[in-house]
């Protein structure tokens, strides 16, 4: 009997050896050696495994590891990598400093030429020319060649205009934020983003601004400021801020949503379908009983995997998401048609009817050209169904398609590079992302030639409109969501200021006559430097409403301007540096960092400190 007991004990002990060790959670905070500030976006990985996470906007992280786990590796472009033995600890806090070795290895021969990156990370040739679409290739750190066919629409930067000849500047607003998170992805990977991936207005509008809420029945408020341009003190910088009314979640109209999900073979990467499902799960948790969700997928063909379901049945929706798998070609056009059909069948009058397209944009079956997709979306938007596009992945990412689909579908466009970005777009900014309060939103600025020698709009290159489009209510323009703000900046050369960007040289063969401005009003006798005109329609309306707001130059020095003004100027300056703009040749990233540090404000969510740290890491990607 004793022998049998011993044998059973041995078998039990032996069998325990085959049980997987229990997990435990390691947490901590990553800060900067330089100033003790939190560092978001730091990669935290268990060495020798695929277990990894990243720090959040407060620099905090959580990672589940086996009990017998060995070493955590903390890494971030431009900062020294640290390896820490876990031991018996459940909390590990560390500080990272600049990696001098990495910074010294960066060699720049000009954009589009050979670059030597940190630890060989950015080797190979980076190319991007003036063609409408660009592609480039690079080698991964493990030196296997990785072909990159990402596509970006070509951008020709706005130049200066003479207000005597062109007194009006007209454009559609833009609340897309995809460009910022996309360039953040490049910088986190130790690469300089292609110039055409950098849309400065989207960088500026990624951040919230402390604008006054509209009063009474007004849907919008307008805020304006003017001071010196940080990159050229002789010039002025005009800041225009629009603030949409914030509608409480309980008062938001019911939603009729269709998740249109790309499950083609190109979505199989971890930063695509897996991240996509995790992102949608965050959104599902925000849904109410009166909200409804259907799920349409497309690969070789399109299909309905979840009929329209109440937001109260979260388990059913989450199970449908979890069961999705990637495989097949990409019938994007067929999927879009089916999604709009489902949305129309479940249409909620007075509600939020929206298709949410999640994809890497790599359509290759059916309608695949931008022109074909554009016509398809334009035809469907007349049914009152809006479109939101969520971009995922890298390598074959089609930014150009994603942007045009959102623009033509009366919607918005975001690039999801991490679960933190999904949290921001789909949870923290839930109302602004999904609930439209105004459509066909346009701005028209009239400049006073008695005060302004020349002007230029910063960004919005692909949103420009003709002057006559402003009063044309049939002309499509941008949409604005609940609580969303829009910021636009103009660089102005005042009358009497000599500038290297003067438009016309002095004449040689005839005397120069001083050209007096011909004005239909007495604006030359006023202090008004410009007038902002703003048009918008209600989501279900056909007639626009006009708001007019003049701006007077009160000669406020930049140090006395609002945090809104200085922060937007810092972001714009960095964006122009990334674009290698001719207008900021004497402005450095260090100057943009200093301006941003002095205007960070409360920064409750930590997005601004993340941006400051992003700028600090750019020496590793050959910045000036």
As a whole number of angstroms, the distance between CA 93 and CA 334 comes to 50
Beta strands 43-46; 52-54: pairing state = antiparallel
Please check whether residues 376 and 459 belong to one and the same domain. no
Residue 466 has pLDDT above 80, yes or no: yes
Check: CB of residue 363 under 8 Å from CB of residue 408.
Answer: no
Is 335 in the same domain as 297? yes
Give the CATH number of the domain where residue 346 resides.
Answer: 3.40.50.410
Instruction: Give 232's strand partners.
Output: 229
User: What does the alpha-carbon distance between residue 59 and residue 28 come to, in Å, rounded to a whole number?
Assistant: 8
* CB 290 within 8 Å of CB 311: yes
Q: Among the listed ranges 97-101, 463-467, 599-603, which one has the minimum average pLDDT value?
A: 97-101
Residue 194 DSSP symbol: P
- What is the band of 363 on the pLDDT scale with cuts at 50, 70, 90? low
CB 410 within 8 A of CB 381: yes
CB within 8 Å of 306: residues ≥ 6 apart: 293, 294, 295, 316, 317, 320
Query: Residue 213 pLDDT > 70, yes or no?
Result: yes
Shared domain for 543 and 577, answered yes or no, is yes
Same domain, 288 and 394: yes
- Tell me: do 465 and 594 sit in the same domain: yes
Secondary structure of 474-497 as H, E, C letters: CCCCEEEECCCEEEEEEEEEECCC
How large is the average pLDDT for residues 90-100? Answer: 84
Among 131-145, 326-340, 356-370, 375-389, the range of highest mean pLDDT = 375-389
pLDDT one-digit tens code per residue, 367-383: 556 677 777 788 777 78
pLDDT band at 21 (very low <50, low <70, confident <90, very high): low
Whether residue 597 is predicted with pLDDT greater than 90 in this model: the reply is: yes
Is the confidence at residue 67, as pLDDT, over 90?
Answer: no
Same domain, 409 and 451: no
Other CB atoms closer than 10 Å to residue 525's CB: what's the count? 9
Please state, in angstroms and rounded to a whole number, the distance separating the CA atoms of residues 181 and 187: 10
* Residue 438 near residue 485, CB atoms below 8 Å: no
* Residue where a domain terminates, one of 98, 113, 139: 98
Residue 124 lies in a domain: no
* Residue 378, domain member (yes or no): yes
pLDDT tens, position by position, 477-519: 988 889 899 999 999 999 999 988 877 666 678 765 555 554 5
Does residue 312 share a domain with residue 375?
Answer: yes
Residues 383 and 455 in one domain: no
Cβ contact 226:260 at 8 Å? no
Mean pLDDT within 119-135: 32
SS3 of the chain: helix, strand, coil, percent, to 5: 30, 30, 45
Q: How confident is the model over 438-459, as pLDDT tens digits?
A: 999 999 999 999 999 999 999 9
Packed helices 275-284 and 314-322: angle between N→C axes, nearest 10 degrees: 170
The span from the CA of 465 to the CA of 535, in Å, is 13
Residue 363 and residue 260 share a domain? yes
Q: What is the CATH number of the domain that holds 64?
A: 2.60.40.1120
User: Which residues, at least 6 apart from 113, have a Cβ–Cβ distance to it below 8 Å?
Assistant: 125, 126
Q: CA nearest 274: which of 433, 419, 64?
A: 419
Instruction: Spell out the SS3 assignment of 155-166.
Output: CCCCCCECCCCC
pLDDT in the model for residue 380: 78
In a domain, 60, yes or no: yes
Question: Is 301 in contact with 331 (CB distance < 8 Å)?
Answer: yes
The pLDDT tens digits of the residues spanning 585-594 come to 999 999 999 9
Q: Is the pLDDT of residue 1 over 70?
A: no
> Mean pLDDT score of the chain, rounded to an integer?
83
Q: Tell which of 68, 98, 128 closes a domain.
A: 98
In a domain, 160, yes or no: no
Segment 221-256, tens digit of pLDDT: 999 999 999 999 999 999 999 999 998 877 889 999
Polymer length in residues for the chain: 624
Please report whether residue 469 resides in a domain.
Answer: yes
Give the domain-ending residue among 379, 396, 413: 413
* pLDDT recorded at residue 374: 76
Quote the CA–CA distance of 508 and 488 in Å, as a whole number: 38
Confidence of residue 13 (pLDDT cuts 50, 70, 90): very low
Closest CA to 274 of 396, 394, 388, 418: 418
Report the CATH number at residue 205.
2.60.40.1230
Structural domain count of the chain: 3
By CB neighbour count within 10 A (0-12 exposed, 13-18 middle, 19+ buried), where does 144 fall?
exposed
Rg of the Cα trace of the chain?
27
HSE-up of residue 528 (Cα within 13 Å, Cβ side): 17
Is 609 in the same domain as 467?
Answer: yes
Residue 328 lies in a domain: yes
Averaged over 399-404, what is the pLDDT? Answer: 87
Model confidence pLDDT, tens digit, residues 297-313: 988 667 899 999 999 99
**356 lies in some domain:** yes
Angstrom distances, CA of residue 601 to CA of 41, 209, 564, 605, 607: 21, 10, 9, 11, 11
Shared domain check, 68 and 210: no
Q: Could you give the CA distance from residue 323 to residue 313 in angstroms, rounded to a whole number?
A: 16
| Domain annotation covers residue 193 | no
Q: Is the pLDDT of residue 154 over 80?
A: yes
Quote the domain boundaries for residue 292: 256-413
Is the domain of 294 the same as that of 395? yes
């Amino acid at each position: 009997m004793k022998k049998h007991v011993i044998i059973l004990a041995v078998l039990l002990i032996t069998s325990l050896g085959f049980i997987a060790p229990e997990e435990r959670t390691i947490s901590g905070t990553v800060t900067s050696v330089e100033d003790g500030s939190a560092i978001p976006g730091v990669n935290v990985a268990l060495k020798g495994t695929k277990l990894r996470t990243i720090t959040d906007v407060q620099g905090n992280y959580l990672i589940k590891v086996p009990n017998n786990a060995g070493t955590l590796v903390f890494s971030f472009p431009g900062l020294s990598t640290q390896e820490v033995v876990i031991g018996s600890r459940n909390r590990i806090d560390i500080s990272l400093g600049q990696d001098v070795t990495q910074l010294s290895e960066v060699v720049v021969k000009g954009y589009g030429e050979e670059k030597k990156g940190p630890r060989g990370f950015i080797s190979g040739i980076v190319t991007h020319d003036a063609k409408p679409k660009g592609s480039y290739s690079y080698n991964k750190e493990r030196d296997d060649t990785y072909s990159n066919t990402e596509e970006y629409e070509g951008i020709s930067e706005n130049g200066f205009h003479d207000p005597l000849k062109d007194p009006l500047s007209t454009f559609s607003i833009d609340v897309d934020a995809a460009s910022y998170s996309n360039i953040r992805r490049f910088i986190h990977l130790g690469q300089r983003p292609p110039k055409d991936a950098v849309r400065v207005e989207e960088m500026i509008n990624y951040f919230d601004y402390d604008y006054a809420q509209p009063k009474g029945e007004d849907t919008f408020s307008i805020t304006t400021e003017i001071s010196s341009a940080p990159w050229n003190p002789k010039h002025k910088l005009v800041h225009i801020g629009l603030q949409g009314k914030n509608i409480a979640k309980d008062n938001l109209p019911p939603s009729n949503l269709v998740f249109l999900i790309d499950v083609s073979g190109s979505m199989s990467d971890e930063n695509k379908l897996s991240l996509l499902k995790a992102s949608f799960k965050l959104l599902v948790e925000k849904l109410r009983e009166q909200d409804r969700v259907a799920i349409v997928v497309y690969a070789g063909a399109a299909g309905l995997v979840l009929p329209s379901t109440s937001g109260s049945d979260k388990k059913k929706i989450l199970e449908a998401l979890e069961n999705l798998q990637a495989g097949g070609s990409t019938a994007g056009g067929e999927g879009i048609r089916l999604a709009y059909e489902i949305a129309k069948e479940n249409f909620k009058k007075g509600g939020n009817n929206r298709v949410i397209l999640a994809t890497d944009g790599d359509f290759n079956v059916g309608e695949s050209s931008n022109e074909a997709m554009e016509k398809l979306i334009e035809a469907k938007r007349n049914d009152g169904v809006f479109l939101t596009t969520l971009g995922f992945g890298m390598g074959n990412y089609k930014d150009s398609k994603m942007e045009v689909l959102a623009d033509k579908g009366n919607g918005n466009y975001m690039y999801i590079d991490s679960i933190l970005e999904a949290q921001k777009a789909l949870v923290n900014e839930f109302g602004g992302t999904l609930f439209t309060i105004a459509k066909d939103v346009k701005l028209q600025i009239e400049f006073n030639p008695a005060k302004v020698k020349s002007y230029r709009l910063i960004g919005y290159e692909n949103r420009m409109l003709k002057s006559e489009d402003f009063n044309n209510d049939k002309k499509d323009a941008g949409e604005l969501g609940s609580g969303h703000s829009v910021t636009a900046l103009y660089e102005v050369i005042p009358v009497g200021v000599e500038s290297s960007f003067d438009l016309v040289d002095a004449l040689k063969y005839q005397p120069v006559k001083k050209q007096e401005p011909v004005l239909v009003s007495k604006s030359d006798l006023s202090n008004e430097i410009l007038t902002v005109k703003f048009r918008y329609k209600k989501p279900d309306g056909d007639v626009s409403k006009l708001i007019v707001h003049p701006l007077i130059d009160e000669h406020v020095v930049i140090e006395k301007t609002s945090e809104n003004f200085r922060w937007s100027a810092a972001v714009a300056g960095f964006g122009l540096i990334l674009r290698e703009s001719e207008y900021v040749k004497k402005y450095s990233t260090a100057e943009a960092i200093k301006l941003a540090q002095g205007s960070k404000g409360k920064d409750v969510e930590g997005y601004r400190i993340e941006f400051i740290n992003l700028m600090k890491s750019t020496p590793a990607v050959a910045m000036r």
